[in-house]
Amino acid sequence: MNLGASKVAPFPVSFKYFTVRKSIVSYLLFLITLFWGACKFIPSGDLSNPRDRFEEFRTYDQDFGSRIEQYLELANQELLENFEKKKYLMIRGKQPPHVIHPRNDLSLREIIRSAHEAGNLTNQQKNTYLEKCDDLYSIWESQWRRARKKAKQLGVEN
């Protein structure tokens, strides 16, 4: 018996309301997940008291010698890498040596001397670091000697 009543859902459904509500909930879940994931990258896992990653660099004020040792190591690495990268230019280039493959020991010698004058280095440290600068210079000089020898073998004028 159909009395002409239309089929009506037991409760009114508004799809627009559910769509808006669903997007707000998904947006909030996304933000919570993003925040939680970002907290995972903080080493201590605590936002209120994050660990200071640069604390070790601030201790160099008390230990100037270790900073110079690092400079010497970096200068040595840079000297070797720069030679490998610019070997061809050193052989064929017309530019002066200080442009193509500069000496690193000169600036380090100045830093060592000024640190010694300021009282940050002892005489023994100064002499040790200047000897390492001499080693840097001998490496640089041998690299240029090899480049000049190779240029002479190839018949290239420097």
- The reply to whether 33 and 102 lie within a common domain is no
Question: What is the residue range of 21's domain?
Answer: 14-46
What φ, ψ does residue 85 adopt, rounded to 5°? -75, -35
Which ranges of 41-122 would DSSP assign to H, the alpha helix? 55-58, 64-92, 97-100, 105-117
So what's the pLDDT on residue 138? 95
Short-list 86, 92, 79, CA closest to 141:
79
Q: Is residue 51 part of a domain?
A: no
* Choice between 157 and 116, residue whose per-residue pLDDT is larger: 116
- The reply to whether 71 and 112 lie within a common domain is yes
> How does pLDDT run across 32-87, given as a tens digit for each residue?
887 776 666 555 544 454 444 445 444 545 577 788 888 899 999 999 998 888 88
Burial track 87-96 (b if 16+ CB lie within 10 A, e otherwise):
beebbebeee
- The reply to whether 75 and 131 lie within a common domain is yes
For residue 72, give the 3-state DSSP assignment.
Answer: helix
Q: Is residue 117 part of a domain?
A: yes
Least confident of 31-35, 121-125, 132-136, 148-152: 31-35
